[in-house]
Amino acid sequence: MNPLLSGLFNQRNQNGHALGPIQKIDVPMRRYGEEEVDYVVVGVGSAGGVLLQRLSRAGFRVLGMEAGPFWNTERDWVSDEAGSHNLYWEDLRITGGEHPLALGANNSGRGVGGGSVHWAAFAPRLHPSDFRIYSQDGVGVDWPISYQELKPYYEQLEMEMPVAGPAWYPWGDPHGYPYGPHPMGGVGNALIKGCTALGIGVSIGGPVAILSGSHGDRQHCIYRGFCIQACKVGAKASTLITHVPDALENGAEIRDNCMVGRIHLNRENRVTGVSYFDAQGNEHFQKAKAVIVSGYAIESPRLLLNSACPGHENGLANSSDAVGRYLMAQAGNVILGRFEQLVRMYKAPPAHCMTEDFYETDPKRDFARGFAIQTVAPLPIAFAKQMMMAKGAWGWGLRRVMMDYNHWASFGLLGEILPWPENRVQLAAEKDRFGLPVAKVTFTLRDNDKKLIEFGKKKVMDVMSAAGAEEVVQESRYAHLVGACRMGSDPRTSVVDKFCRTHDIANLFVCDGSVLPTQGSANPGLTIQALAARTADYLISQGDAVFNSGRRDMTAPPIRRELAPPGTYGRGIPRLTSSSQ
């Protein structure tokens, strides 16, 4: 059998491919072989999963290429910290700059579902102000779209995941959540106590893309706390279980364990397809009428840079020299507090309580923009590493503080770091096992970033003390890489337009976290999926024009709610409509 046709196909014929304990894929997957397809989507992660679902439902022939495996959740996932390392992008990357980022488990996923498999699933929206921070605060850059343009897609994806949270969420554009808030764990109780003591507002039980009640063939959360190790229960949303099943149902193909190495271009400046390496390391060419790169803020720019060719010597779609630049990470300091009483923070999902009281620019502070504070809950290995950083623990000191694991609670700072051209992804001299140059990531904080982090971390430490912690320590950390192929109206300073089409090549798109021009202080996952759904609506509205014309139509089509996976829209889920229309 052709190696491309084995794997998943066989497993499924044996006993059904499990996506959680209840949901199974039973239909055989469509296989395009070497036939030309309409769209190749490179990377089936947060954005890629949504794109595949929408485009296939609208009748396009779509093929998702995924470097990692197509998980069978019952067979491949475990309730175990050390046993979950294969969820992450573990291949080599080089990290540098004055404040080098930790990558791997700290940042990106691999396998169908991508980062949505191991995210904590906090799902707040960006605020309206995030789309115009240059106009408002004179920093960063404005988006080419407004909050109002993205809002219908936020509402839509909140139902498709769906997101649990309070009926009234007061920050940004106030709104409510379709599923009820979650019960508190020990860390959430500490955050409530600390915030309340200091007069800070707090959102209890979400917003988080975890089921508080069962939904279709997915069961509700069992509060086992292994979200970052992938939710075997099927309660936490990942595109693997929310969108991929519907995509396959509608004729999409996913080719797993296939690493795309290059995008090909013809003399008419149009993309013709991609070459990729299969699980055995053999190289193949796949023809496509258009290509969408959805490989994450490191791998997407890496692929464009690795696809340099005559006429595009600096990489595809890089006439602006912006590919790889303006890479951002959020300040993700972890603040840890030791309490006299037991906390047992491993119970309940790490993400269950947060505040955005400090989100907006405050003229009384000496920096622009702001931050959020969220519950986090490291399991023992992550906690041991934090104690190494935050207290300098090793030897007997490490053994001692670890024996107190159950007395600690931890909060995460989530602060906005601004986009800087020098923070970037480039190609390193080292090559991966396919002979492709690996990514080199350079990251350095600037003045505004440092001031924000200093202020933010002190504030979170105050909240921890106010919650009753007798000892408070912290480690620096950065989370959520985005940017590096940013969207904008000006082709001289951005890579894609507001519909994620590259300025330089009419049938090449980038759609994932790398298109974010700025990041706010909201975890990016919901925004990434909302942008993917919006991009899909645009592509569908353009029909064949994407494949055979160079015309760039800049009119936004109306949202197509009927393209949502079945049972996620218009099924009587109560919602509050916000007042700030």
Ligand X SMILES: Cc1cc2nc3c(=O)[nH]c(=O)nc-3n(C[C@H](O)[C@H](O)[C@H](O)COP(=O)(O)OP(=O)(O)OC[C@H]3O[C@@H](n4cnc5c(N)ncnc54)[C@H](O)[C@@H]3O)c2cc1C
- What does the binding site for ligand SF4 look like in residue numbers (CB under 6 A)? 210, 221-227, 231, 233, 235-236, 349
Q: Are 115 and 525 in contact (CB under 8 A)?
A: yes
Q: Contact at 8 Å (CB) between 109 and 117?
A: yes
* Residue closest to ligand X (Cβ): 45
For 462, left (φ over 0), alpha (ψ -120 to 50), or beta?
Answer: alpha
Stretch that binds other proteins, among 164-172, 267-275, 477-485, 509-517 (CB under 8 A): 477-485
Nearer to other proteins, 153 or 383 (CB): 383
d(CA 47, CA 318): 22
In the complex, minimum distance from the CB of residue 208 to ligand SF4, in angstroms, rounded to a whole number: 8
Shortest gap between Cβ of 376 and other proteins (angstroms)? 4
Q: Which of 291, 334, 510, 515 binds other proteins (CB under 8 A)?
A: 334
Query: Contact with ligand X (CB under 6 A): which of 19, 47, 379, 453?
Result: 47
Q: Any contact of residue 429 with other proteins (CB under 8 A)? A: no
Residue 447 CB, shortest distance to ligand X, in Å, is 26
259 binds, among ligand X, other proteins, ligand SF4, none (CB under 5 to 8 A by kind): ligand X
Q: What single DSSP character describes residue 209?
A: S
Report the C-alpha dihedral over residues 413, 376, 356, 118, rounded to 10 degrees: 100
Smallest gap, in angstroms, from Cβ of residue 176 to ligand SF4? 21
Q: Residue 442's Cα: distance from chain center in Å?
A: 20
- The reply on whether position 365 binds other proteins by CB under 8 A is no
With CB under 5 to 8 Å by kind, the binding choice for 46 among other proteins, ligand SF4, ligand X, none is ligand X
| Minimum distance from residue 120 beta carbon to ligand SF4 (Å) | 8
Residue 85 phi, psi (nearest 5): -60, -25
Residue 290's beta-bridge partner residues?
39
Decide if residue 454 touches other proteins (CB under 8 A).
no
List all residues 6 or more positions away from 527 whose beta carbon is below 8 Å from its beta carbon.
125, 126, 150, 154, 516
* Nearest distance from C-beta of residue 480 to other proteins, angstroms: 9
Minimum CB separation of residue 550 from other proteins in Å reads 39
Smallest gap from Cβ 206 to ligand X, in A, equals 11
Residues 98-157 that bind other proteins (CB under 8 A): 99-108, 118, 120, 122
Query: Is 473 near ligand X (CB under 6 A)?
Result: no
What is the DSSP code (8-state) at residue 293? E
**Residues contacting 143, CB < 8 A, separation 6+:** 130, 131, 132, 487, 498, 517, 518
Q: By rule CB under 6 A, what string of x and - marks binding of each residue 474-493 to ligand X?
A: ------x-------------
Is residue 252 within 8 A of residue 53, CB to CB? The reply is yes
Q: How far is the CB of 241 from ligand SF4 (least distance, A)?
A: 11
**Identity of the residue, 224 or 284, whose beta carbon is nearer to ligand SF4 in the bound complex:** 224
Direct distance between the N- and C-terminal alpha carbons of the chain, in angstroms, rounded to an integer: 56
Which amino acid would we find at residue 133?
I
Task: Pick the closer one to other proteins by CB: 232 or 264.
Answer: 232
Q: Pick one of ligand SF4, ligand X, other proteins, none as the site partner of residue 37 (Cβ within 5 to 8 A by kind).
A: none
* Residues between 272 and 311 that touch ligand X (CB under 6 A): 294-296, 299, 303
Residue 157 is a binding residue for ligand X (CB under 6 A) = no
State in angstroms the smallest separation of the CB of 219 from other proteins.
Answer: 9
Question: What CA–CA distance (Å, rounded) separates 22 from 265?
Answer: 43
Q: 245, 483, 525, 565: which one contacts ligand X (CB under 6 A)? A: 525
**Residue 67 makes contact with ligand X by CB under 6 A:** yes
Q: What does 235 bind: ligand SF4, ligand X, other proteins, none (CB cut-off 5 to 8 Å by kind)?
A: ligand SF4
Residue 210, binding choice from other proteins, ligand SF4, ligand X, none, Cβ under 5 to 8 Å by partner class: ligand SF4
Q: Which helix (H) or strand (E) holds 382?
A: helix 380-391
Q: How far is the CB of 572 from other proteins (least distance, A)?
A: 28
CA distance 375 to 412: 6
Q: What is the 3-state secondary structure (H, E, C) of 540-562?
A: HHHCCHHHHCCCCCCCCCCCCHH
Say whether residue 400 binds other proteins (CB under 8 A): yes
- Tokens representing 35 are 């036939």
Contacting ligand X (CB under 6 A), which of 140, 513, 517, 565? Answer: 513
Identify the sign of the CA torsion 85, 48, 503, 491: negative
**Binder to other proteins among 31, 135, 347, 366 (CB under 8 A)?**
347
Taking the complex as a whole, how short is the minimal distance between the CB of residue 222 and ligand SF4, in angstroms?
Answer: 5
The C-alpha atoms of residue 135 and residue 140 are separated, in whole angstroms, by 9
Sequence-ordered strand ranges (E) for 369-452 = 371-376, 408-415, 424-431, 437-442
Number of residues that bind other proteins (CB under 8 A): 98
Helix (H) or strand (E) holding 245: helix 244-249
Q: How far apart are CA 325 and CA 320, in angstroms?
A: 10
Cis peptide before 421 (omega within 30 of 0): no
By CB under 8 A, residue 183 contacts other proteins: yes
**126 binding ligand X? (CB under 6 A):** no
Asked if 258 and 66 touch (Cβ cutoff 8 Å), the reply is: yes
Q: What residues from 100 to 119 belong to the interface with ligand X (CB under 6 A)?
A: 106-111, 114-116, 118-119
Residues in contact with ligand X by CB under 6 A are 42-48, 65-68, 106-111, 114-116, 118-122, 228, 259-260, 294-296, 299, 303, 351, 480, 512-513, 523-526, 528
